[in-house]
A and B are shown apart, each in its own frame.
Chain A
Amino acid sequence: GESVGLHLPTLSVQEGDNSIINCAYSNSASDYFIWYKQESGKGPQFIIDIRSNMDKRQGQRVTVLLNKTVKHLSLQIAATQPGDSAVYFCAENHPLTGGGNKLTFGTGTQLKVEL
Chain B
Amino acid sequence: EAQVTQNPRYLITVTGKKLTVTCSQNMNHEYMSWYRQDPGLGLRQIYYSMNVEVTDKGDVPEGYKVSRKEKRNFPLILESPSPNQTSLYFCASSLSPTGLDEQYFGPGTRLTVT
Contact = CB atoms under 8 A, between A and B. Distances in A.
Contact of A43 (B40, B100, B105): B105
Contacts of B4: 43
Interface of A: 3-7, 32, 34, 41-46, 49, 89, 91, 93, 100-101, 103-108
Nearest to B59: A102
B40 A4 contact: yes
A44 to B, nearest CB: 5
Contacts of A34: 103
A35 to B, nearest CB: 11
A106 B37 CA distance: 11
Contacts, number: 51
A32 B106 contact: no
Contact of B90 (A3, A6, A43, A46): A43
Given A42-B108, A43-B90, A49 B102 contact: yes
Interface of B: 4, 35, 39-45, 56, 90, 92, 98-108
Contacts of A89: 42-43
Given A42-B108, A43-B106, A43-B108, A107 B40 contact: yes
A6 B38 CA distance: 9
16 contacts: A5-B40, A34-B103, A43-B105, A44-B90, A44-B105, A46-B102, A46-B103, A46-B104, A89-B42, A91-B43, A101-B99, A103-B100, A105-B43, A105-B44, A107-B40, A107-B41
B42 A105 contact: yes
Chain A CB count within 10 A is highest, among B92, B100, B104, B106, for B100
A32 B100 contact: yes
A44 B42 CA distance: 11
A41 B104 CA distance: 16
B41 A101 contact: no
A86 B1 CA distance: 23
A106 B92 CA distance: 17
